Amino acid sequence: MNLFHALDSRQPARISLTLRGIVQGVGFRPYIYNLAQRHQLSGYVLNTGAGVTIEVEGAAASLHSFIHTLPAQIPPLARIDDLQLAIIEVIGERNFVIRESDRSQSSFALVPSDICLCDACLADTRDSTNRRNWYPFTNCTNCGPRYSIVIDLPYDRPFTTMAEFSMCPDCRREYNDPTNRRFHAEPNACPVCGPKLSLSPATAEIPDGDSRAILTYIARQLISGRIIAWKGLGGYQLACDATREDAVSTLRRRKHRSEKPFAIMVAGITAAEQLCVVSPLERTALLSSQRPIVLLRRKTAANLAASVSPGNPTTGVMLPSTPMHDLLFLALRELAGASIPLVMTSGNLSEEPIAVDNDEAEAKLADVADLFVHHNRRIHTRVDDSVVRVIDDEVLPIRRARGFAPQPVWLGMGEVQVLACGAQQKNTLCLTKSGFAFPSQHMGDLENYETLEFFEQTRKRMCRLFHIEPEVIAHDLHPGYLSTQWALRQSGIRHIPVQHHHAHIAACMAEHQLRNPVIGVAWDGTGLGTDNTIWGGEFLIADLRSFQRAAHLRTVHLAGGDTAVREPWRVAYSYLLDTFIDQPPAPPSFAQLPQERTRVVDTMLRQHLHTVPTSSAGRLFDAVAALIGIHATVSYEGQAAVALEAIAADANLTEPEPYPFNLIDDASMQLDFRPMIAALIEEVLSNEPKQLMAARFHATLVCAIVRVCRKIRETTHINQVCLSGGCFQNQLLLRGSRNTLRASGFEVYFPRAVPANDGGISLGQAAIACETLRTQTISGA
């Protein structure tokens, strides 16, 4: 470092360092303290609103070594984004100290995510001689709650929901001892001074806070088929024995959730491997400090109730993330002599936000849970479990929440503070500041008052936490989205409307720092286009400012708009009518449908009554699933596509032959799948295996994507392709497109920091708004 040339190595000197990144709540100050001790340096370390400030004084050679070692050995959960150095005046201090936090700076620090239980804390809770034996709130600087309990920055106990608990002398001693693992562990607690569990309804024999007795009681209730609501880390969870069909189907009935799969939690990695096929990367994801739900392929012999994930060969599996979860499995094992998998699902009614307060949970889940396990540590921020899927060598987020939020994405642009409101489904919002974008945790579908409240609350809390006052609001074009309506109600602030599929591509571009125009393949279910039709099978030539619709799926009309999403047979009928016009053949799967319903749909389509034109790729998946006879109706969006992908994967073909399709080279290119529909229905009528047809369908889509991209490259010479939108959560489609495009010489990108589905929309909106403002400032507009 050139800085040191100015110093005489024999003379003492003093240096100040300012660090930004994830440097609070991850054991950073003790790390610096010990590093300074090792180098015999005096000075101090201090948490500020902006990060960490360090001043160190001593021999120049020691300072040199200190500064070189510092970034190389940071704690596992820390991350340094920026480090500024300056030589300052020597003051002749003797000691190195950790100073009280300074709240005066109005900038911001990055807030750590909640982190799963570490091995050392796990050992403490299992050790009968340890004072934290069976204590479910055990944590240290390497583990425990963070984002869910932080109210304000800097990350210090008084600004967390742990402020209500004052440390006992033993905990205080650990907290003040720089050599202790719990040195400045803000949520540090023990059975004497910390949060306590309680049962509701209470039983006379079990006192509040006797966690072993409570967890053992709960384990017994679970084994006998009861449904428990318990307060987890970021909200209430509903649990029941995942091997008991009666318990799981009761939970479904009470939660009004007919078929959408439930996630399960198992005691450990061995239990996961007994139930599912686990690849090395899936194993890493399961064991990662975020402890997400990982979508895994179930083994045929897996002992799970059929209604855990009906008609779906994959199951979402997670491992215990807190001591409370781990100790419950210990109690189950003590009682049953074996590991029992538990359904572990969000404590909410269908599509509402997850409950966080004790009273709220009792009120909302009264008809769902047989009993409640509460505790008295408040959850400040609601964070649901995260979901990931491993595709080849990538761990891709499906739902980004606990363990991931509120980690920012580095945009490398945009000093402007933007609020992006996201989409309607799988809503997230996103804020920007100082070159960072902060996507919120997953909030759910903005379909009810409760979710909109959650949106408002998250916006307020994130703005406060990161000291952000948005100057601009970005939102979707769709006037029906509650997020758009909310945005438009905010007056006195500039609005930037962003087209849905442009936002999907921009999210991918922002993460990969792509600035030049790309070919964006945005395939999903629904998004409003600039021509007021519903888009969803789009090929865009896009940068972060603007886009051009280069190609799309040929438009078909859907009878009854939203009803068609629930009834894939209607989409199939549209495709059949579009292909055959006069006499559409009826696939056998239509035989169960009441004739008058098909007649009504026929009339609607022929006369264009209540029909919606769409180029949606998601709907094409639905149509094919219905034609093949997999799902004529569905109970949640994407169900048919998931089933279609699963049976295509079963075909296990290396190179299934694509069906024919046309490319109509018009003003805007159109992918015409009528030849495929004609070929498909012929195979359906001659009873070809479903797996084969599903596999050939996927191969056709891959082939079509590559052919359109090549065609666009011919005229534009653009060689970078971004694949985004919910359809690219499909393993066969993503893998096939990526590999074939690469083989054709393209550079291929897809979202990894945020989901490819609508959960990623807010990041794309934010990036577009930042870039729009940046270029307008430059051009003086």
Q: Is 12 helix (H, G, I), strand (E, B) or coil?
A: strand
Site for Zn ion in 173-192 (CB under 5 A): 190, 192
CB of 121 to Zn ion, least distance (A): 3
Question: What's the rounded Cα separation, in Å, for the pair 242 and 426?
Answer: 26
Residue 190 or 418: the one with the smaller Cβ distance to Zn ion is 190
Neighbours of 69 (CB within 10 A): 13
163 binds Zn ion (CB under 5 A): no
**The tokens of 571 are what?**
């989409």
Contact 399, 255 (CB under 8 A): no
Site for Zn ion in 621-660 (CB under 5 A): none
CB of 243 to Zn ion, least distance (A): 31
For the sheet containing 79-88, what is the strand order? Answer: 79-88, 12-22, 51-59, 42-48, 96-98
> Could you give the string, one character per residue 680-719, with x where binding to Zn ion holds by CB under 5 A and - elsewhere?
----------------------------------------
Contact with Zn ion (CB under 5 A) among 19, 35, 171, 247: 171
Residue 172 or 610: the one with the smaller Cβ distance to Zn ion is 172
- How far is the CA of 545 from the CAs of 252, 283, 432, 517, in angstroms? 45, 40, 17, 9
Residue 123 or 363: the one with the smaller Cβ distance to Zn ion is 123
How far is residue 280 CA from its own chain's centroid? 21
Taking Cα atoms as reference points, which of 34, 28, 32 lies closest to residue 15?
32
Q: Checking DSSP bridges between strand 418-420 and strand 430-433, what pairing results, if any?
A: antiparallel
193 binds Zn ion (CB under 5 A): yes
CB of 284 to Zn ion, least distance (A): 20
162 binds Zn ion (CB under 5 A): no
Residue 189 or 723: the one with the smaller Cβ distance to Zn ion is 189
118 binds Zn ion (CB under 5 A): yes
CB of 190 to Zn ion, least distance (A): 3
Task: Calculate Rg over the CA atoms of the chain.
Answer: 28
CB of 118 to Zn ion, least distance (A): 3
CB of 186 to Zn ion, least distance (A): 13
116 binds Zn ion (CB under 5 A): no
1 binds Zn ion (CB under 5 A): no
Who contacts 116 (Cβ-Cβ below 8 Å, separation ≥6)?
143, 289, 290, 291, 319, 320, 321, 322, 403
SS (H, E, C) 510-541: HHCCCCCCEEEEEEEEEEECCCCCEEEEEEEE
Terminal alpha carbon distance of the chain? 42
Beta-bridge partner residues of 237: 230, 346
Contact 349, 257 (CB under 8 A): no
617 binds Zn ion (CB under 5 A): no
Residue 190 or 712: the one with the smaller Cβ distance to Zn ion is 190
Residue 134 or 547: the one with the smaller Cβ distance to Zn ion is 134
**Interacting span for Zn ion (CB under 5 A) from 111-119, 417-425, 510-518, 659-667:** 111-119
168 binds Zn ion (CB under 5 A): yes
Site for Zn ion in 40-99 (CB under 5 A): none
Contact with Zn ion (CB under 5 A) among 35, 36, 63, 143: 143
Question: What's the rounded Cα separation, in Å, for the pair 656 and 732?
Answer: 12
CB of 288 to Zn ion, least distance (A): 15
**Interacting span for Zn ion (CB under 5 A) from 135-143, 293-301, 488-496, 573-581:** 135-143
Residue 170 or 415: the one with the smaller Cβ distance to Zn ion is 170
CB of 202 to Zn ion, least distance (A): 24
Q: Cis (ω within 30 of 0) for the bond into 584?
A: no
CB of 168 to Zn ion, least distance (A): 4
Total residues in contact with Zn ion, by rule CB under 5 A: 10
Q: Which residue in the block uniquely carries the two structure tokens 């039983």?
A: 203
**Interacting span for Zn ion (CB under 5 A) from 141-149, 461-469, 623-631, 667-675:** 141-149
**Interacting span for Zn ion (CB under 5 A) from 161-169, 384-392, 474-482, 536-544:** 161-169
CB of 182 to Zn ion, least distance (A): 8
**Interacting span for Zn ion (CB under 5 A) from 93-101, 121-129, 617-625, 631-639:** 121-129
Give the total residue count for the chain. Answer: 781
Active-site residue 554, yes or no? no
Active-site residue 29, yes or no? yes
**Interacting span for Zn ion (CB under 5 A) from 132-140, 218-226, 386-394, 560-568:** 132-140
- For residue 462, the number of C-alpha atoms closer than 13 Å in the C-beta half-sphere is 28
Q: In terms of C-beta density within 10 A (0-12 exposed, 13-18 middle, 19 or more buried), how is residue 771 classed?
A: buried
CB of 193 to Zn ion, least distance (A): 3
Residue 193 or 586: the one with the smaller Cβ distance to Zn ion is 193
Contact 232, 386 (CB under 8 A): no
Contact with Zn ion (CB under 5 A) among 77, 140, 505, 718: 140
Q: In terms of C-beta density within 10 A (0-12 exposed, 13-18 middle, 19 or more buried), how is residue 254 classed?
A: middle
Q: Is 93 helix (H, G, I), strand (E, B) or coil?
A: coil
Residue 122 or 336: the one with the smaller Cβ distance to Zn ion is 122
Residue 77 or 680: the one with the smaller Cβ distance to Zn ion is 77
CB of 41 to Zn ion, least distance (A): 28
Residue 118 or 558: the one with the smaller Cβ distance to Zn ion is 118
Contact 419, 461 (CB under 8 A): no
Residue 158 or 660: the one with the smaller Cβ distance to Zn ion is 158
Contact 136, 321 (CB under 8 A): no
CB of 217 to Zn ion, least distance (A): 24
Site for Zn ion in 486-515 (CB under 5 A): none
Residue of 47, 142, 358, 427 marked active site: 47
Neighbours of 46 (CB within 10 A): 18
Taking Cα atoms as reference points, which of 270, 290, 330 lies closest to residue 116?
290
**Interacting span for Zn ion (CB under 5 A) from 112-120, 404-412, 598-606, 640-648:** 112-120
Residue 180 or 716: the one with the smaller Cβ distance to Zn ion is 180
Buried b (16+ CB within 10 A) or exposed e, 640-671: bbbbbbbbbbebeeeebebbebeeeeeeebbb
**Interacting span for Zn ion (CB under 5 A) from 78-86, 106-114, 160-168, 526-534:** 160-168
121 binds Zn ion (CB under 5 A): yes
Neighbours of 245 (CB within 10 A): 15
Question: What's the rounded Cα separation, in Å, for the pair 628 and 70?
Answer: 60
Contact 539, 547 (CB under 8 A): no
Sign of CA dihedral 605, 606, 610, 615: positive
Sign of CA dihedral 637, 640, 644, 647: positive
**Interacting span for Zn ion (CB under 5 A) from 136-144, 428-436, 611-619, 626-634:** 136-144
Residue of 2, 10, 20, 29 marked active site: 29
Q: Which residue in the block uniquely carries the two structure tokens 């969000």?
A: 346
Q: Active-site positions? A: 29, 47
- Applying CB under 5 A, the residues found at the interface with Zn ion are 118, 121, 140, 142-143, 168, 171, 190, 192-193
